[in-house]
Amino acid sequence: MTNMAPSARHKAASLLDQIIGEGRLMSELIGSGVLDKLPPADRARAQRLATDTLRGMERADRMLSRHLRKPPPLTVHNLLRVGTIELCLGGDPHGVVNDMVSIIGRHRRYGNLKGLVNAVLRKMAADGPRNWNDLRIPRLRSWLREPLVAAYGQGAMNAMDRAYFAGAPLDLTAKGDPKAVAKATGGKLLPTGSIRIENAGQVSALPGFEAGDWWVQDAAAAIPVQVLNPQPGEHILDLCAAPGGKTLQLAAAGATVTALDLSERRMERVAQNLARTGLSATCITEDALSHSGGPYDAILLDAPCSATGTIRRHPDLPFAKDGSDFGELFALQSAMIDHALSLLKPGGRLVYCTCSLLPDEGEVQIDEALARHPDLKTDAEACLRPGIDPDWRTQEGGLRLRPDYWAQAGGMDGFYIACLRQ
């Protein structure tokens, strides 16, 4: 596009261009600074518009197809998608249409399509809001939906689709008393001890942020440390530690924590979170498979995975990925389990977890680890923590969490968790 002051709508459409057209993740793009030229409020708005559009993409495309003879170029299509979503969710018609027409009108290549954008979005403004909820709940893309239907059934998949479309509230983990944090923030205390806040707004403005009384962590992501059950003074390794929520949980429990991650930039975030909360851990930037420390009393391995359990918070993933690289992840997870076991003290425990819904990254990994290591066993009793529904337990002795669990309370991330002892 020609030089012009960036707007939230322009940047939202640009994010979609790179997610859909180049297969890049939103977190990667934002981390690279693509929104840095926007004021803070507009940065948040651009990210929200892009996220809302990804969640409602199927509905937007169905509505747009009624007024398009053929799909326009991706850049134009994404502007129309963002505009359609904003209009259908109650955006000001005059502001949305005028801004989108202005943006495309200054595009070097597609400026001649501003008439199309104007005409289509005016129709969306007139008809979209009243037709929006007549369309079905958007479904995950088929490359991911099909294996999940095979694993959990059509009914469960439909429930997960509803959870993805609804998005995710904000969950907090308290450094101290969860009840006190819930009272201070106006949040709701969940059965597992996390605090849930609806419509939280700016996170850093919530009571207790500056004091380090809590940190942001999905309720499901807080359960692996509960299963590990860290004890004061234990030497515990947090493999693949960034962004640090589990490291903070371990440190708050009084453990002596070594936090390790391959990414220097992500480990800087862990250090920042430790400093804000007044907690301590030894931070190491290193390949997990090269680490030779220990032996440790316990190890938490939150292994690199497909992240398919986090789509309610990261709806870009099904558009940026296609599953073609998952085989490499499966092999890496197996290697990490084997290496982690070599770092444990005799009788030590390893909690393996992934924020994935794919059995290949959860139940199958544990079955295969048990076959490789005859002396290894799962500790099913470790999973009997407060607030855990017995129905979440799996045949091999782990826990399977899904986005449609706690649906009336806002759901949770998909996770697999198992405790291993040798």
Q: Give domain status of residue 318, yes or no.
A: yes
Q: Are residues 261 and 125 in the same domain?
A: no
pLDDT at residue 200, rounded to an integer: 84
Looking at residue 256, which CATH number applies to its domain?
Answer: 3.40.50.150
Q: Give domain status of residue 146, yes or no.
A: no
CA angle 53, 56, 58 (to 5 degrees): 115
Last residue of a domain, one of 134, 161, 183: 134
Q: In a 3-state reduction of DSSP, which class is residue 316?
A: coil
The rounded distance, in Å, linking the Cα atoms of 255 and 299 is 11
254-to-113, 149, 235, 391 alpha-carbon distances in Å: 62, 42, 10, 31
Is 355 catalytic? The answer is yes
Q: Are residues 283 and 414 in the same domain?
A: yes
Mean pLDDT throughout 380-389?
A: 95
Tell me the pTM: 0.93
The rounded distance, in Å, linking the Cα atoms of 268 and 191 is 32
pLDDT, tens digit, for every residue of 276-298? 999 999 999 999 999 999 899 99
Q: Give domain status of residue 260, yes or no.
A: yes
pLDDT, tens digit, for every residue of 296-339? 999 999 999 999 999 999 999 999 999 998 999 999 999 999 99
Active-site residue, selected from the candidate residues 240, 355, 383, 419: 355
Looking at residue 93, which CATH number applies to its domain?
Answer: 1.10.940.10
Of 107, 63, 112, 71, the residue nearest 89 (C-alpha): 63
Q: Are residues 130 and 255 in the same domain?
A: no
Q: Give domain status of residue 303, yes or no.
A: yes
* Domain assignment of residue 266, given as a range: 218-421
pLDDT at residue 4, rounded to an integer: 52
**Would you give the DSSP letter of residue 136?**
P
The rounded distance, in Å, linking the Cα atoms of 24 and 18 is 6
Q: Give domain status of residue 191, yes or no.
A: no
Q: Give domain status of residue 20, yes or no.
A: yes
Q: Are residues 356 and 227 in the same domain?
A: yes
Q: Give domain status of residue 101, yes or no.
A: yes
pLDDT, tens digit, for every residue of 113-163? 999 999 999 999 999 999 999 999 999 999 999 999 999 999 999 999 999
pLDDT at residue 422, rounded to an integer: 86
Domain count, the chain: 2
